[in-house]
């Protein structure tokens, strides 16, 4: 691998020995990458105040020439935006930590993800500034993450008969459509031959709004107004489907939900 420089978001930082950190970034050019920041705990000139979670910076990374299996080395950073208002708000910290954990555990190392980098940067910037509500930007991040990663469910048609959901009736589900979490699909009443054990009920209006923010540019996300019910339904669906699909329980999501209950 060649040495490189790229804008990047700090996803995770782990202490390593007395002076070093192992840091995971989502970089714009090289995707997710884990590096070692040598002497970072005492190096004022290179790293002081720059290696905080959620921060965006330009990183310079060098690959060891002799030890090919060794971690790349973080040579230098130039801070772009620390997004400090996220770290001083416990609920914003919960949302951002959830996004970081999704990316960290889903993406493979060193595969270019420029679209996902732009989505994460936009989401952090909006969360930090308060330009878009925390709940809406969380919905936007999750559904766009699924779309970019290639496992977004079809939110417009029944996954069995392919009938557009707008044309189906939902009489047996209290006016709502069933989302089958295990198979990642909507199921209309006509195709509901048996009870789906792992399922979420969601209204057609919420499905339309989720589809809208998935299909339109991310900068338009603030234009759509979600009701409190739509936000609740959207979060319930996405936060059930994503962890199930990735195959892990997210500690950050448990923390976020606890904080929201307390608030």
Quick one: 22 exposed, middle or buried, by C-beta within 10 A (0-12, 13-18, 19+)?
A: middle
Q: Which two tokens stand for residue 9?
A: 């978001």
Domain boundaries, the chain: 1-82, 120-262
Class of domain 1-82: mainly beta
Query: What radius of gyration, in Å, describes the C-alpha atoms of the chain?
Result: 21
**pTM of the predicted protein model:** 0.91
Q: Kindly provide the residue ranges of all beta strands, DSSP E only, lying in the chain, ordered along the sequence.
A: 4-16, 20-27, 31-37, 56-62, 73-81, 177-180, 185-187, 199-202
123 contacts 140 by C-beta, under 8 angstroms: yes
What is the structure's pLDDT at 213? 87
The CA distances from residue 237 to 143, 152, 153, 190, 242, in Å, are 10, 12, 11, 21, 9
What is the structure's pLDDT at 188? 86
CATH number of 120-262: 1.20.1440
What is the structure's pLDDT at 169? 67
Quick one: 65 exposed, middle or buried, by C-beta within 10 A (0-12, 13-18, 19+)?
A: exposed
Q: For residues 139 and 231, what is the distance between their CA atoms, to the nearest angstrom? A: 8
Q: Which two tokens stand for residue 173?
A: 């589900």
The whole-number mean pLDDT for each consecutive block of 10 residues of the chain, a chain of 263 residues, reads 92 92 96 94 75 95 85 94 95 97 93 93 96 93 93 91 82 74 88 75 92 84 84 95 92 93 85
Q: For residues 17 and 200, what is the distance between their CA atoms, to the nearest angstrom? A: 45
Segment holding 209, helix H or strand E: helix 204-215
Sequence length of the chain is: 263
In terms of Cα–Cα distance, which of 78, 58, 77, 55 is closest to 124?
55
State how beta strands 73-81 and 56-62 pair.
antiparallel
In terms of Cα–Cα distance, which of 29, 37, 33, 40 is closest to 6?
29
């Amino acid at each position: 691998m060649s040495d490189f420089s790229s804008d990047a978001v700090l996803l995770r930082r782990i202490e390593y020995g007395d002076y070093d950190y192992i840091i995971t970034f989502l970089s714009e050019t090289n995707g997710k990458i884990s590096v070692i920041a040598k002497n970072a705990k005492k190096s004022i000139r290179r790293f002081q105040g720059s290696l905080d979670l959620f921060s965006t910076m330009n990183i310079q990374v060098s690959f060891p020439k002799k030890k090919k299996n060794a971690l790349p080395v973080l040579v230098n950073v130039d801070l772009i935006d620390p997004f400090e208002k996220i770290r001083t708000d416990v609920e914003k910290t919960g949302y951002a930590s959830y996004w970081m954990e999704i990316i960290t555990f889903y993406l493979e190392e060193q595969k270019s993800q420029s679209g996902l980098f732009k989505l994460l940067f936009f989401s952090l910037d909006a969360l930090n500034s308060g330009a878009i509500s925390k709940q809406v930007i969380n919905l936007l991040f999750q559904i766009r993450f699924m779309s970019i990663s290639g496992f977004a469910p079809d939110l417009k048609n029944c996954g069995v008969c392919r009938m557009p959901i707008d044309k189906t009736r939902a009489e047996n589900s209290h006016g709502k459509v069933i989302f089958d979490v295990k198979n990642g699909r909507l199921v209309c009443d006509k195709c509901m031959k048996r009870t789906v054990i792992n399922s979420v009920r969601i209204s057609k209006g919420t499905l339309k709004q989720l589809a809208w923010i998935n299909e339109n540019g991310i900068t338009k996300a603030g234009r759509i107004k979600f009701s409190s019910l739509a936000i609740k339904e959207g979060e319930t669906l996405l936060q059930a489907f994503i962890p199930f699909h990735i195959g892990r329980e997210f500690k950050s999501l448990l923390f976020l939900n606890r904080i929201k209950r307390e608030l």
